[in-house]
Structure 1
Amino acid sequence: MKDGPDIARIAALIGDPARANMLTALMSGKALTATELSQEAGITLQTASSHLAKLDAGGLLSLRKQGRHKYFSIANDQVAHLLETLMGLAAGSGHLRTRTGPRDEEMRKARVCYNHLAGHMGIVMYESFLRKGFLHVATDDLTLTNTGASFVDGFGIDLKELKAKKSPLCRECLDWSERRSHLAGSLGRSLLARMENLGWAKRVPGSRVVRFTKAGQAEFDATFQR
C-alpha cells in the first residue's frame, strides 16, 4: 500500500451514523458529556463511550475534565470545517433529513457553525466583506485587507489580539444549507461574539440556531447589506 494520509480511517470514524450524530451535535460549539451525546445519537451510554474513545483517539475530539465530569468538544477549526463541508456535500446529493418544523427554517437563516455565524445571514456577511473589499481572495488564501482591518477595529474587535493567536484569522467555510461560503477563523468567531455582546442576537439553548432580535436584524442589515 502506498504511503500517505489515511483518509479511509478518518472517513470511517465520521461515517458511522451514531458518531456522525454526535459530531453534528458538537457543531453547536458547546462541550457535551457522554450522557448528553448518547441521547443525541439514540444509543446507550456504554456504546457512546466506546464511540467517543475512538473519535478522541482519531484526533477529532477534545476532552476536558472538570471534577467528576468529562466534556467533549470538536478538536479544532479544521475538524469543524471538514464536518460542515461534508454536510454541504450530503445536502447537495439530496441526502437530507426530513424537516420537522419551523426550527429548521431558523437553522437555515442563522446558526452557529462550531463558533462562527453560518446560514443565510453568515453568507450575507461574508459576501458583504468581499463586496466592500474587506477580504482578499487568492487561490488558497483569504486575507483581511487594510480597509477590512479598519472596519473590524471600528466594530469593536481587537484585531491585534486576534493576530497573535495561532488559529487562522480568516477562513472560508462551505455552508451546508446553501452550499455557498461563509466566514470562519478567529475573525468569524469574534464577529459572532461581538454581535452577541451588542445584543443583536443570541443562541437558542439546545440548538445551533442563532436568533436575531428585531433591532439586531436591522443593525445587521444596515452594517452588512448596504
Structure 2
Amino acid sequence: MKEGPDIARIGTLIGDPARANMLTALMAGKALTATELSQAAGVTLQTASAHLSKLEDGGLIAQRKQGRHRYFALADASAGTLLESIMGFAASRGHLRHKPGPKDPALRKARVCYDHLAGDYGVRMLDSFVCRGAIETDGENLTMTPAGHEHVAALGIDVSGLSSGRRPFCKSCLDWSERRSHLAGTLGKALLSHVFEKGWARRSEDSRVVAFTPEGERRFLALFPVD
C-alpha cells in the first residue's frame, strides 16, 4: 500500500463537475444553503445533499447551523487557496469552461477569493506593498517590513491582532486571471474588510465581483500606487 497524503481523494472530490460548481460558488466567501448550492450545481436537492456530504467528509467544506437552517461554507482559508491555485493552473493551460462574457472583465478586475481581494486590483495591492518596501518577497514567501507595519497601522488596522492567530499573517495566493500573486492571509482579509467598511466597494449579489464606486476606485488607486 502506498503511503503519504491521498491527493487522489481530493482530486476526485473536486473533479466532479457538480461539486466543482458548488465549491466555486462558495469561493465568494458566503455560507449557502443546500438549495442554493443545488441550483449552482444544476442538480436536484437530493443529489446536492449527497455531494455536500462527501465534500464535508473530505474536509473541503464545513456545515453551520442557525436555528432550523443549515448553511455550508469552505472549511477554511487553505481550502480557498487550494481552489484558487487550481483555477490559476487551469486558466494557464487554457482549460476554460466558457467564453468570456459581460461579467468576465468585472471578475478579472476585482473579486472575492474566499475572504480577500483578487483580480487585477488584488495583484495591484500586493505590487504596491512590494514597490514601497512594505513587503519583501522570496518566491512565494512574503514578509512585512517595519515600514509596512506602520503603513497598515496608519489605516486603523490592528496589526498585532492579525499576527496572533494560527493563520498566516501575510501570504501570497496565485491569481487565476492575472497569473500572478495577490495578497492573502489575515492581512489580505483585513484590507478587503477595510475597503468595504470605507464604502469604496460592495459585494455584487450572486457573484464574486467586487464593484467599486468611482470615488472608492479613486481612493483605492491612490492608496495602492504602483510604479
The TM-score bracket by the shorter chain reads: over 0.9
Partner of 1:88: 88
Partner of 2:17: 17
Partner of 2:43: 43
Partner of 2:213: 213
The alpha-carbon deviation at position 146 of structure 1 amounts to 0.4
Superposed counterparts of 1:124-135, under 5 Å: 124-135=124-135
Cα deviation for residue 140 of structure 1 reads: 5.5
Question: CA-to-partner distance for each residue in 1:106-140, whole Å, 9 max, x for gaps?
Answer: 00000000000000010111111111111122355
Q: Could you tell me which runs of 5 or more consecutive residues in structure 2 were left unpaired when the two chains were aligned.
A: none
AA at the equivalent of 1:164: S
Output the aligned Cα RMSD: 1.2
Share of identical aligned residues, percent?
58
Counterpart AA for 1:121: Y
Q: TM-score, normalised by structure 2?
A: 0.96
What TM-score do the two structures reach when normalised by structure 1? Answer: 0.97
Q: In the alignment, which residue of structure 1 is the partner of 2:113?
A: 113
Distance 2:151 2:212 in 1: 21
AA in 2 matched with 1:151: H
Structure 1 stretch displaced more, 35-44 or 216-225:
216-225
- Give 3-state SS (helix, strand or coil) of 1:173's partner: strand
Q: How far, CA to CA, are the matches of 1:110 and 1:102 in structure 2?
A: 14
Aligned equivalents of 2:75, 2:218: Cα separation in 1: 35
Deviation track 1:49-94 (CA, whole Å, cap 9, x = no partner) reads: 0000000000000111111111100011111001001001111111
Report the counterpart of residue 181 of structure 2 in structure 1: 181
Q: What does 1:103-182 align with in structure 2 at a 5 Å threshold? A: 103-139=103-139, 141-182=141-182
Gaps of 5+ in 1: none
The separation in 2 between residues aligned to 1:93 and 1:137, in whole angstroms, is: 26
Deviations 1:9-62 (A, max 9, x none): 111111111000000000000000110000000000000000000000000001
The 1-side partners of 2:164 and 2:90 are apart by: 36
Equivalent-residue separation in structure 2 for 1:23 and 1:16 (angstroms): 10
Give, in whole Å, the separation in 1 of the partners of 2:165 and 2:212. Answer: 29
| Separation in 2, partners of 1:21, 1:33 | 14
Structure-1 residue corresponding to 2:70: 70
State the Cα deviation string for residues 118-167 of structure 1 (Å, max 9, x = none).
Answer: 00010111111111111122355322110110010011211121112221
CA distance in 2, matches of 1:99, 1:69: 36
**Residue type at the aligned position of 2:114:** Y
Aligned equivalent of 1:3: 3
Distance, in Å, in 2 between the alignment partners of 1:199 and 1:140 is 31
Q: Distance in 1 between matches of 2:48 and 2:16?
A: 12
CA contact (8 A) 2:109 2:120 kept: yes
